[in-house]
Amino acid sequence: MPTRTVTKHDFLTALGCKTRAWYGMRDSGGAPTPADLLRMQEGQDVHRRAQSLHPNGVFAGSIEKTKRLILDRAVEVIFEAAFTVDGYTARADWIRRVKGGWVIGENKSSLFNEDGPKDEHLEDLAYTVMVARHAGLPVKCCELVLINRDWRLGMPDPDLFVVTDHTADVLPIADDFNRLWDQTAPLLLRRSKPSPRWCWECRSCEYFADRCVGVGISDPIFQLPYLREKKFTELTAMGVTRISTIPSEFKLSDLQQTAATAIRTRSPQIDAAEIRSALDSLEWPIGYLDFETLLTAVPFYPDIAPHEQLVTQYSLHVETAPSRKLEHREYLADHARDCRKELTARLIRDTAMCRSVVVYSSFEKTQIRGLASLLHTYATELAGLEAKLFDLEPVVRRGLVHPEFGGRSSIKVVLPVLAPDLSYADLDIGDGGSAVAAFAKLASRDATDEEIQTVRGALLEYCKLDTMAMVRVLRALHAMA
């Protein structure tokens, strides 16, 4: 069995919660989701393209080869330079030889931003610098390689990147990390787990409910909607971790108070007047609209920017009058080309008869505005469509607080409660991330004809269920009003 070591992910996780990091080092995890696989493939593609910045670079990939290449003065750039020391391991995307030492470079699939890089990117680089220094590498500079938003398909690979020096930002972070060197690895590598404690990271921890401090707690304070870290800290400082034990005098927002009441009493809190007032603004015929999109670091089509979001699909259920049979219309782009103009023309035609168009969240509004700014010919019609939009999510959030929602109001949480007979579980594509990954696979031309037909059918089925879900949620709300 290979010797366990602390990786960058382990160390950075431990900054927030050592118990979570300890569990993560020992958890093989489940199979990656289609969205996970897409991100990994994108990362590999970006790394491969970034190597074009240093055409004379030599691949290492192991500790021993890294050592040999460092000693070879003829080698200027080393890709995937590996370091292990004192139980820590790191791998630099590349290191470049300069006078008196080395430059460490980190490639990221994120867009370059004039306002500066994300803190997490600096921390990733700082960890690598820390380990490389302990392994004896004299680090002189630190560089980030990010995506150039002006790059377009067909341009040379080196033009895809913006390289920026962040030595002044990274070295102080590496020094701060280094103060934890003697304690973090021994703590994470020992056989017994660190003593767990409630912390802000618990809210998204995969071990919280079944292996850690959340075991047996059905009403953790994280179920309060819009809970902020400051209020969380105030509650835990008082020893309060459950909604049922929040003191009556503790100040909560109206929405948080309603959610707390629902969770304490295990009974839905329904504001019929709020629901009725909102739904009274709907006008027939009513459309129910949902978009799916494609977003990739490296675009598949000409004249598309890196990370530009393209609408690729829509589903539209139309209800001409109460209790009338639903009509369904849909569009799925040809994955071999950018079909936004065609999609927009069809969308305008299909929604023309609708007086109100129900959506769930502001996503569709954002995408419609994006289409309008791109396709000026359709700007007036798209503005008219935007004016018809009715966001159902705020109606649920304000009018129905259900204990089984857990303080949330996304449609994936709401639907099983209000329409338990509708389920995404049996679909081949059952979530937005998988839909993006599926369309990206088609766009990459990495699918057989049979796979193409299967995937396209699954995409249509998924998007159709999204709009049917809105139909059912709205009908459930009508019954409450």
Q: Give the integer Cα–Cα distance in Å for 384 and 352.
A: 9
Same-domain pairing of 338 and 415: yes
Q: Give the integer Cα–Cα distance in Å for 231 and 110.
A: 32
Both tokens of residue 308? 């530009």
Tell me which of 265, 297, 323 is where a domain ends.
265
Q: Please tell me the pTM assigned to this model.
A: 0.94
Q: Residue 310 in contact with residue 295, Cβ under 8 Å? A: yes
Same-domain pairing of 261 and 143: no
Same-domain pairing of 155 and 304: no
Same-domain pairing of 61 and 151: yes
Same-domain pairing of 358 and 224: no
399 belongs to a structural domain: yes
DSSP designation for 251: -
Supply the pLDDT for residue 2. Answer: 59
Same-domain pairing of 310 and 261: no
Same-domain pairing of 476 and 338: yes
Same-domain pairing of 259 and 386: no
Both tokens of residue 325? 């049979």
Q: Are strands 269-270 and 88-98 parallel, antiparallel or unpaired?
A: unpaired
Tell me which of 265, 284, 301 is where a domain ends.
265
Residue ranges making up the domain that contains 245 = 217-265
Q: Give the integer Cα–Cα distance in Å for 82 and 102.
A: 14
377 belongs to a structural domain: yes
Same-domain pairing of 329 and 303: yes
Q: Which H or E run includes 96?
A: strand 88-98
Tell me which of 227, 244, 265 is where a domain ends.
265
260 belongs to a structural domain: yes
For 191-267, list the strands marked E by DSSP.
none
241 belongs to a structural domain: yes
Q: Give the integer Cα–Cα distance in Å for 105 and 77.
A: 10
| CATH code for the domain in which residue 45 is found | 3.90.320.10
Same-domain pairing of 260 and 317: no
Tell me if the bond preceding 34 is cis, omega within 30° of 0: no
17 belongs to a structural domain: no
Output phi, psi for 393, to 5 deg: -60, -45
Both tokens of residue 419? 């329409």
Q: Give the integer Cα–Cα distance in Å for 77 and 70.
A: 9
Residuewise pLDDT in 10s, the chain (481 residues)? 458 999 999 999 999 999 999 999 999 877 899 999 999 999 999 999 999 999 999 999 999 999 999 999 999 999 999 999 999 999 999 999 999 999 999 999 999 999 999 999 999 999 999 999 999 999 999 999 999 999 999 999 999 999 999 999 999 999 999 999 999 999 999 999 999 999 999 999 999 999 999 999 999 999 999 999 999 999 999 999 999 999 999 999 999 999 999 999 999 999 999 999 999 999 999 999 999 999 999 999 999 999 999 999 999 999 999 878 999 999 999 999 999 999 999 999 999 999 999 999 999 999 999 999 999 999 999 999 999 999 999 999 999 999 999 999 999 999 999 999 999 999 999 999 999 999 999 999 989 999 999 999 999 999 999 999 999 999 999 999 8
Supply the pLDDT for residue 3. Answer: 80
Tally of domains within the chain? 3
